[in-house]
Amino acid sequence: MSLEQNIQVLVKDAVKALYGVEATDAMVQLQKTRPEFEGNLTVVVFPFVKLARKAPAQVATEIGEKLMADGSGLIARFNAVQGFLNLVIDDAFWVKQLEAIDAEPNYGQQPNRDKLMMVEYSSPNTNKPLHLGHVRNNLLGYSIARIQEANGWKVVKTNIVNDRGIHICKSMLAWLKFGNGETPESSGKKGDHLIGDYYVRFDKEYKAQIAELMAKGLDEETAKREASLMLEAQEMLRKWEANDPEIRALWAKMNSWVYAGFDETYKRLGVSFDKIYYESNTYLEGKSEVEKGLAAGQFYRREDGSVWADLTKDGLDEKLLLRSDGTSVYMTQDIGTAKLRFQDYPIDKMVYVVGNEQEYHFKVLSILLDRLGFPFGKELVHFSYGMVELPNGKMKSREGTVVDADDLMDKMIEDAREMNEDPEVARMVGLGALKYFILKVDPRKNMLFNPAESIDFNGNTGPFIQYTYARIQSVLRKADPRDLEISKSQDLEEKELALIQRLTEYPAVVRVAGDNFSPAVICNYAYDLACDFNSFYHDLSILNEPDAAKRALRLLLAKNVGKVLNAAMSLLGIEMPERM
């Protein structure tokens, strides 16, 4: 039973004994004691004032005296301030809490719910390498999956690869025209980087054609439509959908280069997937469902042959589902992907980790799936997160102005090497700095990325928490194992008590992070715990403490702070070095 549950039972018993009233759980309001008052927990007694027909301060005092006299030994002392009863919990209770934490190897892990959550993240296009925006997406998705597992969910981590469409054809066409047979092997480039270069090359050549046509008197929109490169790309997409063998062979070859590059980046970033879907396989399912909806009168066809959904009755607008040439759009693919996923898994909750610029898209998807008769349509969760911004503005892939994920990881590890020459430690610290800096921000907010700030060993950073963990491991390595076997002191110093109380909060923190899909909650807790430990370490001796019982207690505290820091950071996908 938790401290709060214990106090709740004791207060209800006291109210019944004092005033002859059966108090409900809702009447027993508990809150953390304000810092200007002595106490650990505060009971709000106003709900009992009318029942007792006495002044609030008198009711608080009477309940406090009853709790002290009940023989449980849980309450060491109390003070009453108006209608608030501040309770000081006996040190013996906190020592037992520490021992219980030490005895639980999976402390903070919630009971198994026997329910399945699918979390979709990454969702890259195969026309470019992963960039800083993908890094935030992947880190959020992976961490959310880890946090939900800690909350008892069975989790399937999934990825939908956007491997078809006009953007893919742009890279393919540019490679055909300007590549001269270049391959990852011949160029020494990762496959995703190589293909990304040709996506940028297409945009450069396309803009030149537009400028040329406008110089001949065409307006910009007409020039964009009539530029030969765009017309060729559109024709390539039509051939791809018609299963043209040459186009399909080229597509398969170039995509294989990209997948090899993606896999290398994912592995290095420390994220993984249980199931990968490909748009090239799911879009046909989506087209089939759209055609069924068209036949059933759910959608309509315009004169040019395109198929649309009228969502004006839902407060939205009209949504294109199939183009006039019969090719599909993202929405079509997402309908097919959702159908296949719910066929493949008994999903209880489907979570899409996708940027906030796609909020409208997922509103539409939910309505369309519901309209098509899928029972899960209304239950989809769009975890909408903010964009990563740079000091010089937004990133644009087609213009080659992105921060490449591989380059970013190289830079973070290189910066960490300046502080620690051990390559493995530098890798952990560099990537830990990157992950923590991104995940500590409220995920729903836009963020400005600052690499130099992220790798600081002081302040709210990953390296600060990693260093605290390494310091704890150093202390434990130097300790005599027999010190941990000595009976624990029950006379706690203020900073010992603060650390134990912080440790007891961890399971609730994991629950809140899961309920809110927020790794930032875990980050804030880990930072606060590390700060508490460093304050404790600065003020109180551990290994040189002459009192054996105090030394044992402090070693046990250090051991479990390390355990919880490691557990919390693992939910963020951050590795903890044993030495720094």
DSSP 329-369: -HHHHHHHHHHHHHHHS--SEEEEEEEGGGHHHHHHHHHHH
Dihedral (CA of 357, 362, 363, 364) sign? positive
Portion of the chain with pLDDT greater than 90, in percent:
84
DSSP state of 435: H
Nearest CA to 168 out of 206, 141, 195 is that of 195
b/e for 154-179, b at 16 or more Cβ within 10 A? Answer: bbbbbbbbbbbbebbbbbbbbbeeeb
Chain segment 58-76, per-residue pLDDT in tens: 999 999 999 999 877 899 9
Q: Which of 197-201, 417-421, 500-504, 570-574 has the lowest mean pLDDT?
A: 417-421
Q: Are 172 and 250 in contact (CB under 8 A)?
A: yes
450: pLDDT strictly greater than 90: no
Chain segment 228-286, per-residue pLDDT in tens: 999 999 999 999 989 999 999 999 999 999 999 999 999 999 999 999 999 999 999 99
- Residue the block writes with tokens 């804030």: 524
Q: Domains in the chain, ordered, with CATH?
A: 3-89 (3.30.1360.70), 121-399 (3.40.50.620), 426-570 (1.10.730.10)
Mean predicted confidence (pLDDT) in 338-351: 95
* Cα–Cα distance for residue pair 434/346, rounded to 1 Å: 35
b/e for 17-45, b at 16 or more Cβ within 10 A? Answer: ebbeeebeeebbebeebeeeeebbbbbbb
What is the pLDDT at residue 394? 46
Chain segment 302-312, per-residue pLDDT in tens: 999 999 999 99
Q: Calculate the alpha carbon distances from 168 to 48, 251, 261 in Å.
A: 68, 8, 16
Chain segment 139-154, per-residue pLDDT in tens: 999 999 999 999 999 9
Helices (H) and strands (E) in the chain, counts: 22, 14
Strand pairing partners for 320? Answer: 308
What is the pLDDT at residue 484? 76
213: pLDDT strictly greater than 60: yes
Mean predicted confidence (pLDDT) in 77-105: 94
Residue 439, number of CB atoms within 10 A of its CB: 24
Chain segment 120-130, per-residue pLDDT in tens: 999 999 999 99
Query: What would the two tokens of residue 180 be?
Result: 């001269």
- Count the helix, strand and coil residues of the chain and give each as a percent rounded to the nearest 5: 60, 10, 30
Mean predicted confidence (pLDDT) in 551-567: 97
Strand pairing partners for 385? Answer: 355
Q: Are 5 and 43 in contact (CB under 8 A)?
A: no
Confidence of residue 396 (pLDDT cuts 50, 70, 90): very low
Of residues 345 and 397, more confidence is placed in: 345
